[in-house]
């Protein structure tokens, strides 16, 4: 695949890891405590565990895993809303596969399907639209979720639905937006972050400018990063270099995908279809102002929240679960009381154990590999360890 192997080269990873180790003593505050760099995006969390990147780094550099996994931050009540919609006899409920196993208070979508609800997994919102065209007598609801990465595809699908005059298609909108989320993290008193790896694919849509407040107002360095191991290491090196040189800037490691100005067509589609909500409820994090979007009035006919009666109940997370602390990066996954015992990928209690981009699932699936020193599939970690 294009530019995949090139960014997995073990020799280069080794070189980068040792450059990083060389930078650390130049950053004064590492003498008091380890540096904490947050990767906002769940895709990075997954890459860090899959390639064993933390193990390549000096002890004085720690990744803090952020809340950027849209499936993980779905509150339980929202899953119940999905199930309630899916159980209506005229409805075909369409969703990305990632959301199927997230536990609701009674059922997940997967279990609702087993109980007879018509739930269909789709790869693309366009496939959901095709289902609507093929089933004119049914109501097809698409469960839209994700940050700005997936927002344009939902928006363009709705624009197409309106153009085609389809009346039996609607969106249950759970899209969220990245900037208020990062602000909420920066304002959180429990966290002392030294810098950020910026989300690569969100930035492909919004560009690099919206992050300026992180450098200018909060005085933290950020580097937007790709998802291969060398991307992550190089972006980390960029952040540490800024710290060593007392700079705070927005840098872009992922120039092959992320243009500084973002994607004009995608942003126009978002602006046409969506508007900000006053607030939005997150699993474990509570309500964050302006962190979600809803459909504009001009798309009211396609809004499942207006078309159907949605219970919209607030359901507290189970007491044993500490997803909120893990989402904010205050606790490491294994510090949750039920991690690996009551909560596993087979029997998830929290959503972070469901998605492959969730910190708990990544920790569970790959953390054990690291503990037993089995070489990972790419051989990257093995090569680096041998060479170091």
Partner 1 sequence: MCLGIPGRIVALSDAESRLAVVDVSGVRRSVNIACIVDEAHPPESCVGEWVLVHVGFAMSRIDAEEAERTLALLHELGEAQAEIEAMRNSAAARAG
Which chain residues interact with partner 1 by CB under 8 A?
Answer: 1-4, 6-7, 11-12, 14-16, 18-19, 41-43, 69-70, 96-98, 123-127, 146-147, 149-150, 152-153, 156, 160, 201, 204-205, 227, 230, 234, 237, 253-259, 263-266, 269, 357
Residues 6+ apart with CB under 8 A from 189: none
Q: Mark 240-263 as b/e (b = at least 16 C-beta within 10 Å).
A: bbbbbeeebbbbbbbeeebeeebb
In whole angstroms, how close is the CB of 186 to partner 1 at the nearest point?
Answer: 22
Q: How far is CA 311 from CA 41, 80, 173, in A?
A: 30, 8, 15
Q: Check residue 222 and report its DSSP letter.
A: E
Nearer to partner 1, 157 or 168 (CB): 157
Are 117 and 280 spatial neighbours (Cβ–Cβ below 8 Å)?
A: no
> Measured between alpha carbons, how far is 143 from 152 in angstroms, rounded to an integer?
14
Are 53 and 367 spatial neighbours (Cβ–Cβ below 8 Å)?
A: no
Nearer to ligand SF4, 312 or 347 (CB): 347
Q: Closest CB to ligand SF4 belongs to which residue?
A: 350
Q: Choose among ligand SF4, partner 1, none what residue 111 binds, the Cβ cut-off being 5 to 8 Å by kind.
A: none
Question: How would you classify the pairing of strands 250-252 and 222-224?
Answer: parallel
Should residue 360 be labelled a site residue for ligand SF4 when binding is judged by CB under 6 A? yes
Residues between 308 and 337 that touch ligand SF4 (CB under 6 A): 321-323, 326, 333, 336
In whole angstroms, how close is the CB of 97 to ligand SF4 at the nearest point?
Answer: 18
In whole angstroms, how close is the CB of 222 to partner 1 at the nearest point?
Answer: 17
In whole angstroms, how close is the CB of 333 to ligand SF4 at the nearest point?
Answer: 5
Q: Choose among ligand SF4, partner 1, none what residue 306 binds, the Cβ cut-off being 5 to 8 Å by kind.
A: none
279, β-bridge pairs: 289
Question: How would you classify the pairing of strands 222-224 and 279-282?
Answer: unpaired
Q: Give the residues lining the site for ligand SF4 (CB under 6 A).
A: 321-323, 326, 333, 336, 338-339, 343, 349-350, 352-353, 360
């Amino acid at each position: 695949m294009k530019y995949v192997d090139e960014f997995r080269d073990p020799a280069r990873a080794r070189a980068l890891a040792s450059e990083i180790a060389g930078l650390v003593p130049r950053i004064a505050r590492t003498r008091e405590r380890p540096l904490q760099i947050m990767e906002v995006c769940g895709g990075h969390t997954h890459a860090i565990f899959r390639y064993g990147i933390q193990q390549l780094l000096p002890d004085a550099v720690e990744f803090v895993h952020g809340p950027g996994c849209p499936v993980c931050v779905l509150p339980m009540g929202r899953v119940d809303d999905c199930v309630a919609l899916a159980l209506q006899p005229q409805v075909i409920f369409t969703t990305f596969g990632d959301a199927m196993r997230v536990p609701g208070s009674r059922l997940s979508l997967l279990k609702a399907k087993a109980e007879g609800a018509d739930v269909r997994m789709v790869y693309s919102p366009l496939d959901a639209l095709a289902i609507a065209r093929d089933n004119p007598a049914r109501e097809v609801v698409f469960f839209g979720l994700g940050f700005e990465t997936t927002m344009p595809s939902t928006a363009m699908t709705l624009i197409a639905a309106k153009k085609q005059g389809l009346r039996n298609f609607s969106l249950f909108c759970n899209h969220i937006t990245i900037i208020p989320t990062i602000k909420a993290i920066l304002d959180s008193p429990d966290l002392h972050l030294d810098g950020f790896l910026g989300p690569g694919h969100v930035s492909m849509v919004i560009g690099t400018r919206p992050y300026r407040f992180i450098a200018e107002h909060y005085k933290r360095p950020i580097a937007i990063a790709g998802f291969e191991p060398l991307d992550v290491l190089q972006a980390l090196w960029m952040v540490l270099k800024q710290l060593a040189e007392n700079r705070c800037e927005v840098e872009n490691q992922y120039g092959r995908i992320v243009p500084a100005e973002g994607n004009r067509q995608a942003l126009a589609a978002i602006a046409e279809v969506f508007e900000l909500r006053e607030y939005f409820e997150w699993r474990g994090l509570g309500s964050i102002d302006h962190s979600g979007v809803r459909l504009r009035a001009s798309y009211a006919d396609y809004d499942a929240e207006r078309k159907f009666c949605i219970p919209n109940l607030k359901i507290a997370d189970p007491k044993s679960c500490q997803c909120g602390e893990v989402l904010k990066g205050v606790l490491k996954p294994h510090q949750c009381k039920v991690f690996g015992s009551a909560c596993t990928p087979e029997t998830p209690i929290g959503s972070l154990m469901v998605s492959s981009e969730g910190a708990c699932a990544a920790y569970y699936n790959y953390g054990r590999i690291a503990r037993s020193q089995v070489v990972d599939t790419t051989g990257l970690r093995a090569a680096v360890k041998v060479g170091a």
